[in-house]
Amino acid sequence: MKYSYYPGCTLKTKAKDLDIYARSSAEALGVELVEVKEWQCCGGVYTTAQDEIATKLSAVRTLMSARDEGTDLVTVCAACHNVIKRVNDDMRNNEYVSTRANNYLQAEAPYAGETRVIHFLELLRDEIGFENIKKAVKNPISKKIAAYYGCLLLRPSSVMQMDNPENPSILEDFIKAIGATPVISAYRNECCGSYFAVTDKSIAKRNSSKFVDSSEKNGAEMILTACPLCLYNLKQNGGASVPVVYFTELLAEALGVK
């Protein structure tokens, strides 16, 4: 199985583990991730302003690259996934945005949202299958683990379409597949405070602490996430006393390639 792969800026700097273990795990599972050539920053945040076209162009270029390769596009960072998938939806369904973006790019073949964008978790669930992941596990992770979704993987649900935004299960099913026991917190799909960590740390502290406290009270020995921002806030502002790791690191450990 071959896919175009978009790592994003943070996975090349502060979140290298998220990237490195995604690649090594994919290879172990027979998946080829081909990094998009000359990719640029996704923009970090999806801009809702209709006339803000320029900030969406790097995402469109990445989507065009995958289209031209004839492959689906895989992302790992929750923030990058949110931005690229929402821009892709604009290029399919929003004529105002798509017309102006294509006018900027002046590509030979205008982009109309042809690329299928999937998160690495969807690759594991829908393309490989958690049952096959389970069979490939060499080192079961025999711990109680709390999954933290945050907001970017799930919302807006009409566009992201990864899971039920109010009662998701993809991360819990992943945890079971690597031999661990999921711990459920009522706050697992709420925002960690995200960029408020810069402007108003008290909001990030309040939001992150609610999830961390709930998870630890329910017996979690570890917390996993797919978002670099969430990992930072859970560790720095949430005051987690248990390890907070990327889901790809646990996958690599379970597959014996860490």
Rg of the chain (C-alpha set): 18
pLDDT at 115 over 90: yes
Residue 133 has a pLDDT of 98
Average pLDDT for 140-146:
98
Whole-number Å distance between alpha carbons of 91 and 85: 10
Whole-number Å distance between alpha carbons of 180 and 160: 27
What's the pLDDT band for 233 if we cut at 50, 70, 90? very high
Instruction: Please check whether residue 189 is in contact with residue 151, taking contact to mean a CB–CB distance below 8 angstroms.
Output: yes
Average pLDDT for 113-130:
98
56 Cβ contact partners less than 8 Å away, ≥ 6 residues apart: 43, 47, 87, 90, 97, 101
pLDDT at 50 over 90: no
pLDDT at 182 over 90: yes
The fold of 135-255 is Rossmann fold (3.40.50)
Which 8-state DSSP code applies to residue 150?
Answer: T
What's the pLDDT band for 141 if we cut at 50, 70, 90? very high
- Give pLDDT tens digits for 237-247: 999 999 999 99
Average pLDDT for 47-65:
94
Nearest in space to 176 (alpha carbons), one of 227, 228, 234, 247: 247
The whole-model pTM stands at: 0.97
The beta strands (E) that lie in 79-158 are given as 117-119, 144-148
Average pLDDT for 24-33:
98
Residue 194 has a pLDDT of 85
* Domains of the chain by residue range: 2-120, 135-255
Residue 255 has a pLDDT of 98
> DSSP letters along 160-187, please?
H-SS-SSS--HHHHHHHHTT-EEE--TT
pLDDT at 197 over 90: no
pLDDT at 257 over 90: yes
Nearest in space to 192 (alpha carbons), one of 147, 156, 238: 238
Q: Which residue has the tokens 């799930």?
A: 154
- Give pLDDT tens digits for 80-113: 999 999 999 999 999 999 999 999 999 889 999 9
The fold of 2-120 is Glutathione S-transferase Yfyf (Class Pi); Chain A, domain 2 (1.20.1050)
Nearest in space to 128 (alpha carbons), one of 188, 178, 63, 78: 178
Q: Percent of the chain beyond pLDDT 90?
A: 94
Residue 198 has a pLDDT of 84
Q: Which has more pLDDT, 41 or 194?
A: 41
pLDDT at 195 over 90: no
Average pLDDT for 15-25:
98
Average pLDDT for 159-176:
98
Whole-number Å distance between alpha carbons of 69 and 193: 37
Residue 196 has a pLDDT of 87
